[in-house]
Amino acid sequence: MTMIRNPILKGFNPDPSILRVGDDYYIATSTFEWYPGVQIHHSKDLANWQVLGYALDRESQLDLKGIEASGGVWAPCLSYDENARLFYLIYTIMRSTTGNFFDLDNYVVTANSVTGPWSERSYLNSSGFDPSLFHDDDGRKWLLNLEWDNRLGYEHPGSIVIQEYDPESRELLGKPVSIFRGATGMGCLEAPHIYKRNGYYYMMAAEGGTGFGHGVTVARSKSLFGPYEPDPCNPIITSAKEINLNRRGVDDYLKPYQYNPDSVLQKSGHGSLVETQDGVPYIAHLTARPLASNQRSMLGRETAIQACEWTKDGWLRLASGGQRAELTVQPAALTLTPWKKEPVREHFDSGEWNAHLNSLRVPLNESWVSLTARPGYMRLRGRDSLFSLHEQSLIARRLQSVHAVTETCVEFEPDNFHETAGLTLFYDQNMFYYLRIYYSESLNSKCLGILYADNGVKVELRESRMPVAGWDKVYMRAVIEGEELRFYGSPDGEEWTQIGPVLDASKCSDEYSKYGHFTGAFVGVCCQDSYRKRKYADFDYFEYRETGTE
C-alpha cells in the first residue's frame, strides 16, 4: 500500500479549501500579496496534485497595489452548486491590520468550470475574514465569516456570524447573526466551514492561532443557527505541544512555546472536509515544517491531509487515532493517478506563462514583462525596488524544499547605479537576498554584488563585489542547503565563482519576521530602474530543482 505523504502541497500553500466534484478533487489556497490570486490544485487520488491555475487574474477581481506584506488574499473558500453546476469562490482582500482594525473586503466570484473564466467580483461585506459559503440542502445559501471585534474590553477576535446569500442578486439578505464563539478555550477563532450530515450541522473551525498552537475544532447542532455542541475530543487535529491551553482572548498567533519537537508537522490547523466517492472523510489542513535547528519555517505554511472516520455517535476522528497530524496517511480507495513530472527549467519559448510563476501585487502584462518582445526570452522592464509595495518587476515561484538550486542567465547592460537586475530569495519587502548586476562608479565596471534586507534594514556587501565588464551573458545561481544560502556567478554556465559569504536563508521565514508576517519564501528574477523605468533585462531561462528530501 502506497501511503499519502504530507505535505501534499509543499511550500506556501496555506488555508486549504478542499472540494470534490464527481471524481475530481480541488484545493484552493491563499496567495496573499502574490498574483494571480487563489491557486487551484487538482487531484484524482488525494495523493498526487498539480497546479491547475488561478481564479483571480485581473485587477477588476483583485486590486493589490500598495497592500502590506501578508495582506491581500486570505483564506479562499471553494464550493460547488450541483443543481446550477456552478463553482463559487469566496475570498478576502486584507488591506490593512494597522491598529488592530483589520480593514478588508469580502467578495464572491463564480465559474462554470474550475479552470475559469471566473466572473467579475461581487462585494459581500467587510466585517471580518475567512468567509465561506454553505449550500444547504433546501437550496438556500449562507455566508459565514469571523466577525472581527476591534473594541476595547471585548474578546478578540470575535465570533462567527451567518447571513443569507441571494445568488440571483449576488447580495446578502437580512442581518448577520452571531452563532459561534469557539469550541475550546484555545482562542484565535477563525476559518469557519459548515457541513451537513445525518440531520446535524457541523461547524469546523480553526482555533489556537495560525502558529504552533494551531488546531482544527468541531462542534455540531440540529439547527443552522445553533447552539453548537463542542466535540468532547477537541481539537480533533493539532501539532501543539500542549493540548487545549486556555488562551482565549490572547492575540499572540505564533505561540513558539507550543513547538512540538516530537512532530515533523507543526502549526496543524485550519481544516476543510471532503468525502470520497465511497463516503470516507478526509481533512485537508494547514501545516508547516520548520528547521529543527532554529524552528524557522522557510517554506511557509503548507497543506497536509489526514484520513478520518465517523464514530458511531457522529463525531470525526483521525483514522490513525489521537489528535496529532501525521506525516504519512492511509490512502483513499482510489486509482493512483500521478501527474507528468514537470521540467525543472523554464525556457520562455512556449509563449505561455508557467503556472508556477507569480508576480507581486500587480498582474502580468506586456507593459513590464514580455515573452514576445524577444522570442525565447523573458524581458523585464525595470521599475520599483524590492522594498516597494507598488510596482515591482519581479517574477518568482514558491520555494518548496530547503534543498534546492535555482539558476538563470541574463543579458543586462546597466548605464548607472539606478539600473539593476538579478536573482533573489524573497520573503517580503523587509526580508530578501538579492544577487544583482549593477554599474559600480567606484570600480568603473558592470558588477555582480549582493544587496539584502534584514527585517527592514538594507545591507550591501561591498567587499564581495565582482567586476563582470566582459560578460555578455551573466549566469547566476542560488544554492540553498537548509539554512545556508550561497550565490554564484559565471560567464558561461560552466565555471562558477561564489559571490559573497554564506547567508542565513532561514531568515526568510515567519518566525524571523519582526512584523508578524506569515507567508513563505520565493525564488525569482527581477529588474529595477529608479532613473526612468525604461531599462530592461532579458532572461534566457529560469531553473528550479530540488536536490534533496525533507
- Catalytic site residues? 391
Those residues whose C-beta lies under 8 Å from the C-beta of residue 271, and which sit 6 or more positions away, are 191, 193, 204, 206, 216, 237, 283, 284, 285, 286
The beta strand positions in 323-418, using DSSP E, are 328-329, 345-346, 359-360, 369-370, 378-381, 393-398, 403-411
CA 415/CA 359 separation, integer angstroms: 26
In this structure, what DSSP letter does residue 325 have?
P
- Which residue spans within 97-199 are E strands per DSSP? 103-111, 122-125, 132-135, 141-148, 158-166, 171-180, 190-197
Torsion of CA 119, 124, 125, 131, to 10 degrees: -80
Q: CA 485 to CA 498: how far, in whole Å?
A: 11
**DSSP H or E segment with residue 217:** strand 215-221
DSSP string of 24-80, one letter each residue: EEEEEE--BTEESEEEEEEESSSS--EEEEEEE-STTT---TTPPTT-EEEEEEEEE
Quick count: other Cβ atoms within 10 Å of Cβ 23? Answer: 12
| Closest C-alpha to 348, from 323, 371, 319, 322 | 371
Rg of the chain (C-alpha set):
24
How far apart (Å, rounded) are the C-alpha atoms in residues 550 and 541? 27
Instruction: Compute the distance between CA of residue 164 and CA of residue 294 in angstroms, rounded to an integer.
Output: 46
C-alpha cell at 332: 483513499
Contact 549, 404 (CB under 8 A): no
Furthest CA-CA distance within the chain? 78
158: cell is: 470575535
Q: Measure the CA–CA gap between 91 and 73, rounded to whole angstroms.
A: 7
Q: From CA 313, how far away is CA 316, in angstroms rounded?
A: 9
Query: CB-hemisphere CA count at 13 Å for 86?
Result: 14
